[in-house]
Amino acid sequence: MGTFSNIVILTGAGISAESGIMTFRDAGGLWEQQRIEDVATPEAFVRDPARVQAFYNERRAALYTVAPNRAHEALARLEREYPGTVTIVTQNVDDLHERAGSSRVVHMHGELRKVRCRMCGNVIEWEDDVEEDSGCPDCCTVGRLRPHIVWFGEVPLYIDEISSLLEEADLFISIGTSGEVYPAAGFVIEVKEHTHTIEINLEPSRGASLFDECRQGPAGILVPALVDELLS
Ligand code: BV8
């Protein structure tokens, strides 16, 4: 495989599965336990904010019990050692890419360890549970903090930056995503005319046929192998 100038890597819940973080659509996944409509939409938050906060408090707390796996570590190594640019666009809201050492990470669906104040609009690092009486450290308003998460029906973050990254990419790698959620699932279509595209997934995703290459298996094995290839 030749040398690429700009590698863009899209990751989904599958890259964190081997770290013990539940995916959404696998058996026993998050969407089997809770309906999207009840915990991951703005309407759900208006209807029952305590239930939505609890859903994210639980997932935020779980972050302290998991660690990056060999796939996250391999991507951090690629960013460190590869001669071209390596940027991760992640649908994930966990911080495992950062904890593995990646620095160029774009969280298009937000981050569990941040909250957003609905009064002043600021985004604030937040480690613990968000309670009903939690106050904004910036504007001191109480009870107006929401998870810094992009819910269904909300506009993903950094869309313009991501479009530029995709325009410049000459290698696009999709890892651990079912290809069910847009606009992320459409990125491969945006790039395929000018980019070599590789999918790494446990099962072929919904968009598998759109990729030049499909490598089926666990990210913890296949991502280090691909990184070794790219660095050799
Ligand atoms: C928007 C935060 C407008 C919540 C999430 C067409 C165009 C545009 C929009 C739409 C459209 N059609 C429908 C829509 C609306 C909607 C949508 O896509 N609905 C779906 C259900 C049809 N999209 C939206 O609402 C988005 N907003 O479109 O705004 C717009 C668009 C463009 C420009 C301007 C405006 C907002 C979507 C964001 C919703 N929020 N997350 C939270 O996390 O709690 S999405 C949620 O699903 C997660 O972020 C997750 O990342 C994402 C996708 O899931 P995956 O990551 O793929 O995880 P999944 O479990 O599905 O799959 C795991 C995969 O890993 C599996 O394939 C499995 O085989 C594999 N795997 C498992 N283990 C391993 C493995 N692979 C390798 N190794 C392993 N060990």
pLDDT tens for residues 216-227? 999 999 999 999
- Tell me if 23 CB under 6 Å of ligand 1: yes
Candidates 16, 24, 223: which one to mutate for ligand 1, based on the most atoms within 8 Å of Cβ?
A: 24
Which of the residues 72, 97, 107, 109 is marked catalytic?
109
Angle of the 70-81 helix axis to the 219-231 helix axis, nearest 10:
20
Write down the pLDDT at residue 61.
Answer: 95
- Tell me if 109 CB under 6 Å of ligand 1: yes
Classify burial at 187, counting beta carbons within 10 Å of its beta carbon; exposed 0-12, middle 13-18, buried 19 or more: buried
Distance, in Å, from the CA atom of 195 to the CA atom of 155, rounded to the nearest integer, reads: 26
Q: 12-26, 89-103, 153-167: which range is least confident on average?
A: 12-26
Sheet of 145-149, strand order? 123-125, 110-117, 145-149
Q: How far apart are the first and last CA of the chain?
A: 9
Write down the pLDDT at residue 31.
Answer: 78
Give the β-pairing of 85-90 and 105-107: parallel
Phi, psi dihedrals of residue 112, rounded to the nearest 5°: -65, -35
Candidates 15, 18, 23: which one to mutate for ligand 1, based on the most atoms within 8 Å of Cβ?
A: 23
Going from the Cα of 195 to the center of ligand 1, the distance in angstroms, rounded, reads 22
Structure pTM? 0.96
Write down the pLDDT at residue 29.
Answer: 80
Going from the Cα of 209 to the center of ligand 1, the distance in angstroms, rounded, reads 18
* The pair of three-digit structure tokens given for residue 169, joined into one six-digit string: 């990419």
Residue 24 — very low, low, confident or very high, per pLDDT cuts 50/70/90?
confident
Is 109 in the active site? yes
* The pair of three-digit structure tokens given for residue 12, joined into one six-digit string: 């989904």
pLDDT tens for residues 58-110? 999 999 999 999 999 999 999 999 999 999 999 999 999 999 999 999 999 99
- Tell me if 27 CB under 6 Å of ligand 1: no
Q: Is the pLDDT of residue 1 over 90?
A: no
Ligand 1 atom closest to residue 159's alpha carbon, by position in its atom list: 33
**Longest pairwise C-alpha distance within the chain:** 55
Going from the Cα of 230 to the center of ligand 1, the distance in angstroms, rounded, reads 27
Distance, in Å, from the CA atom of 85 to the CA atom of 107, rounded to the nearest integer, reads: 17
